[in-house]
Amino acid sequence: MTAVGDQQPSTAALKAYKALHRKGKLTLRVNAAPNITLTEAQKGAQSAVKRLLTLRKRYETGGLRARPGIRVRSTGELFQDGVLQAPAHTASLLAPYFDDQGHATTDSGPVPYWPDPTLRDLLVRLVKAGFSPQVHAIGDRAVRATLDDYAAVRRQAGKRPRLAIAHAELVDPADYGRFKSLDVTPVMSFQWGKPAPDSIEGAKVFMGPERFDRMEPEGRLQDAGARIAFGSDWPVDALNEFFALEVGVTRRNEAGSGYAGRLNSDPGLTRKEAFRAITTHSSYEMGTERRTGSLERGKLADYIVLAKDPMTVPATAISETKVLRTVVGGRTVYRR
């Protein structure tokens, strides 16, 4: 890794990053994204934004340059809902969940956590203060509500702000094209797009066949023109980027997992699309694409050297990719 977007970093983490930077031992670029809770925003959106500005002043280390530093330009996930999986069923859906026998219920999960106009007001204040918001929305109702809020942000703040939705695990087909039209980046965890306990036992029967077929819609969003960025969801998941990239392409679990076949009919991503998601598109989401994210003249020398070309090995071998060397700002920070 040459850069990370650290969601909801603690004060201790920010102090640690700053101490490493001061000692010249910070070996990757940190894009810190402090959190704002609903309770804090309801007490006063302007004071919440002011707190983030204070953190920016305290912990940022200046502009992008060869030496890795710290930026505070994004927000941690603003949670609109929870998770799709049973028994929680806290994702906000447009239609009710099914029970464990596949029968319809009356439970559609919670309404989106952030009421309007609280979220819209906060989002507008954030982007005007120079922050790029990211909203956690997993169910199709939460995704739609967030896109509606972002449409209001575009009307009030224009095209420039970077807007993102984390996860977007279930999106109504009517909303696929809105990611492109509103220029909203879906930040997706590719490793979830496979048959596994969370998708089969935890969700399949409770979603019903139609919704299960559109869970984890990376391929469909890509086909609709969305700019997809990869998000690891660490530390909830292991930090295993090459396995995640493999799943993004194959939609399959690893051999020996006990889960065979593809997750559903979503086409998945091409290798080029998957690797762009973790490089150029992630740099765009973090607001650093002019200096990082691709190998071009005039950009910073952030790159990795691999033992084999993941674009030519069998797709099921992408997860076996080995890194030989990591370079940040022209300086080798890791060698195998």
Residue type at 19 in one-letter notation: A
Q: Which of 158, 113, 163, 91 is nearest to 134 (CA)?
A: 163
pLDDT, one tens digit per residue, over 71-86 is 999 999 999 999 999 9
Q: Which of 34, 121, 107 is nearest to 74 (CA)?
A: 34
Mean pLDDT by 10 residues, the chain (336 residues): 95 97 97 96 96 97 95 96 97 98 96 94 97 98 98 94 97 98 98 98 98 98 98 94 98 96 98 98 96 96 98 97 98 98
Tell me what percent of the chain is helix, strand and coil, each rounded to the nearest 5: 35, 15, 50
pLDDT of residue 290: 96
Query: 10 Å Cβ neighbour count for 182?
Result: 16
Q: How many CA atoms lie within 13 A of 281 on its CB side?
A: 23
pLDDT of residue 221: 98
pLDDT of residue 213: 98
Give the pairing type, strands 331-335 and 323-328.
Answer: antiparallel
d(CA 78, CA 125): 14
Side-by-side strand order, sheet with 184-188: 78-79, 134-137, 163-167, 184-188, 229-230
pLDDT of residue 45: 95
Q: How far lies 125's CA from each of 6, 21, 179, 262, in Å?
A: 21, 30, 21, 42
Structure tokens at 213: 């077929």
Considering the entire predicted model, what is its pTM? 0.96
H helices of 135-214, where? 140-157, 178-181, 205-207, 209-212
Q: How far lies 8's CA from each of 33, 37, 58, 287, 330, in Å?
A: 6, 11, 16, 17, 29
Whether omega before 87 lies within 30 degrees of 0, making that bond cis, reads yes
- What domain count does the chain have? 1
Residues 73 and 130: beta-carbon distance below 8 Å? yes
Residues 299 and 291: beta-carbon distance below 8 Å? yes
pLDDT of residue 148: 97
228: domain range?
3-335
pLDDT of residue 116: 87
Whether omega before 117 lies within 30 degrees of 0, making that bond cis, reads yes
d(CA 153, CA 122): 10
Q: Is 332 exposed, middle or buried (0-12, 13-18, 19+ CB in 10 A)?
A: exposed
pLDDT of residue 48: 97
